[in-house]
Amino acid sequence: MFSFKDMPPSASSLFAAYASFATSMMMMIRSITNDLLPPKLVSFISSIFNYFFTPKSSPHTTLVIKNKTNYAKNQVFDAAEIYLRTKISPSMDRLEASKTPRQHRVSLSMDKDQEIVDQFQDIHLKWRFVAEKKKEDRQHIEEKSQLVFHKKFVDKVVDFYLPYILRRAKEIKATENVSELCSQNLPYSDDSGEDRCRGHWGSIGLGHPATFDTLAMDPDLKKMIIDELDRFLKRKEFYRKVGKAWKRGYLLYGPPGTGKSSLVAAMANYLKFDIYDLDLTDICSNSDLRRSLLSTSNRSILVIEDIDCSVNLQNRANSDDESENNDDYRSKLMLSGMLNFMDGLWSSCGDERIIVLTTNHKDRLDAALLRPGRMDVHINLSYCTSKAFETLVTNYLGGGAIHHPLYEEIEALVEHANVTPAEVAEELMKDDDIDILMEGLAKFVKRKREEQNDGNMAAEEEVNEIVEER
């Protein structure tokens, strides 16, 4: 854009002298004409002078599209970033190249201060990406896109072009068929040395291969979860009709190694949703929690793993000390913030979202977290069953392994031994020889069964001793 500062000193001085002369002439002519000429003629002459000497405004409009709007992510910014990758041309002076380990080819994107030209119907548009540090927070880089076009097309750009970009970005992302695994950026210290928390996320392609086909789980439970997810996706208008936020909460509980994390990955791969892995230990306050949650996108799964261990969100009924000065006070603040996001006023800020909490100890969680409307579906992932064992053997050894002479014996033992799918999977990876593997697995399951029986007998003897003492 033309700027007076870019003019050489002589040209700038000449223009200033010209402007001064023009102003003086207008004032002199206006004084003379007001005395000698009729008012209508004076008005006509004045309009001519204004036309030639008044600086004209630019015929173009610039839309500034920031990456965030207050708390939430700006969907237009994200969509434009995806869409503009398809508009990269060799004529651009500078491009950004990137490749993750799971990508098959190098990806090109627009670097800052570069322009991309686009044509939509009869509108000529220019995009520019800008990234700059915020004055009040030098650690944080603010990203934004600038879209320049003729003013007369403002309505057309807002009503048709931007919705078109949103649709195209959704289509492009669907063809890529890759969900994102998002994690919060770590807290940092500002210039004063005070710890601060960031509310934005970094992401990487979700490479977890878990699917419902490979998941070692009871078939009836698996079908129930798939039906649940399908039903949720189809009920947008129903949620709107009954006045509820379009979200669903799942509590996954059970012993370690029963497949809770794998189930989350299978859900994301099935729905093509992004996963936001929230670590509560990195959250500084309820406001930081709210900022982090609101910066997640639609069509996403928010996961808090081992919620009973991440912060001290214990059942309030088990807490004797209600003082605001103890260590539990911060946890209660975190709990209140979490509850407000799940079904309070803030829960409506986003659509098509799933919240998943995982825990090894359901009884340790506050009852307020578990009620319907927050955790709508409780899924108990327990020890390995015969059906789950069949899936594991087929996945690791092939379908023919179920005809092995030891298969039925191990299957019967698995039904009565507290072995987890993770333990069985580890045994199935110890050798390439199927006979050695099955023999080792049989010994392992028998040992687990004996340990379980010994533990039960010891517990029974302890109870009998207590009874006899009384």
Non-local (6+) Cβ contacts of 304 within 8 A are 278, 280, 310, 355, 356, 357, 358
37 and 70 part of one domain: no
The contacts of residue 82 (CB under 8 Å, 6+ apart) are: 168, 169, 172, 173
- Which tokens sit at 68? 């965030």
Are 94 and 147 members of one domain?
yes
pLDDT digits (tens, 9 = 90+) for 49-64: 666 655 566 788 998 9
Cα 380 to Cα 91, 98, 366, 412, 426: the distances in Å are 57, 41, 17, 22, 22
How many angstroms separate the Cα of 260 from the Cα of each of 46, 70, 382, 383? 79, 34, 10, 12
User: What residues have CB less than 8 Å from 128, skipping those under 6 apart?
Assistant: 113, 114, 115, 116, 145, 146, 148
3-state SS, one letter per residue, for 243-312: CCCCEEEEEEECCCCCCHHHHHHHHHHHHCCEEEECCHHHCCCHHHHHHHHHCCCCCEEEEECCHHHHCC
Q: Judge if 251 and 320 occupy the same domain.
A: yes
Rounded to the nearest angstrom, the gap between the alpha carbon of residue 262 and the centroid of all alpha carbons in its chain is 18
Predicted confidence at residue 54, as pLDDT, reads 58
**pLDDT tens-digit readout, 122-169:** 899 999 888 776 655 555 667 888 999 999 999 999 999 999 999 998
Is the predicted pLDDT of residue 77 greater than 70, yes or no?
yes
pLDDT tier, 222 (very low <50, low <70, confident <90, very high otherwise): very high
* Average pLDDT estimate for 442-456: 81
What is the predicted pLDDT for the residue at 203? Answer: 74
Structural domain range at position 124: 60-177
Single-letter residue type at 47: S
What pLDDT is stored for residue 3 in this prediction?
46
Q: Are 356 and 460 in the same domain?
A: no
Check: CB of residue 177 under 8 Å from CB of residue 274.
Answer: no
Give the per-residue pLDDT at 190.
46
Amino acid (1-letter code) at residue 126? K
pLDDT band for position 452 (50/70/90)? Answer: confident
**pLDDT tens digits for range 83-127:** 988 887 777 777 777 776 666 677 777 767 778 889 999 899 999
269 with 166, same domain? no
Taking the C-alpha atoms of residue 307 and residue 259, their distance in angstroms, rounded to an integer, is 16
The phi and psi torsions of 309 (rounded to 5 degrees) equal: -105, -25
Query: 302 with 216, same domain?
Result: yes
The answer to whether 405 and 375 have CB atoms below 8 angstroms apart is no
**C-alpha to C-alpha distances, 372 to 250, 332, 351, nearest whole angstrom:** 10, 20, 18
Alpha-carbon span 154 to 148, nearest angstrom: 10
Tell me: do 290 and 232 sit in the same domain. Answer: yes
CA distance 347 to 168: 28
388-416 burial: b if 16+ Cβ within 10 Å, else e:
bbbbbbebbbeeebeebebbeebbebbee
Q: Are 203 and 180 in contact (CB under 8 A)?
A: yes
C-beta separation of 310 from 334 below 8 A: no
* Number of independent structural domains in the chain: 4
Last residue in a domain, options 27, 53, 79: 53
d(CA 307, CA 56): 61
User: 328, 351, 380: which is the final residue of a domain?
Assistant: 380
Check residue 40 and give its pLDDT: 66
Q: Please give the model's pTM, rounded to 2 decimal places.
A: 0.71
Tell me how far apart the alpha carbons of residues 305 and 290 are, in angstroms, rounded to a whole number: 18
| Confidence (pLDDT) at 31 | 65
Higher pLDDT, 120 or 297: 120
Of 228, 230, 284, the C-alpha closest to 252 is 228
Asked if residues 274 and 305 have their Cβ atoms less than 8 Å apart, the reply is no
For 403, the token pair is 């005809």
Q: Are 283 and 376 in the same domain?
A: yes
Give the end of a domain, one of 353, 380, 407: 380
Mean pLDDT of the chain: 78
The reply to whether 256 and 345 lie within a common domain is yes
Domain holding 293: CATH number? 3.40.50.300
Determine the straight-line distance between the first and last CA of the chain, rounded to whole angstroms. Answer: 94
Evaluated on CA atoms 148, 150, 152, 157, the torsion sign reads negative
Q: Which of 247, 222, 358, 224 is nearest to 298 (CA)?
A: 247
Other CB atoms within 10 A of residue 328 CB: 20
For residues 201 and 310, membership in a common domain is answered with: yes
188 band by pLDDT with thresholds 50, 70 and 90: very low
- Cβ-Cβ contacts under 8 Å for 10 (sequence gap 6 or more): none
- pLDDT score of 194: 46
Does residue 212 sit in the same domain as residue 352? Answer: yes
Based on the fold, state whether residues 301 and 253 are members of the same structural domain: yes
Quick one: tokens of 346?
A: 């803030």
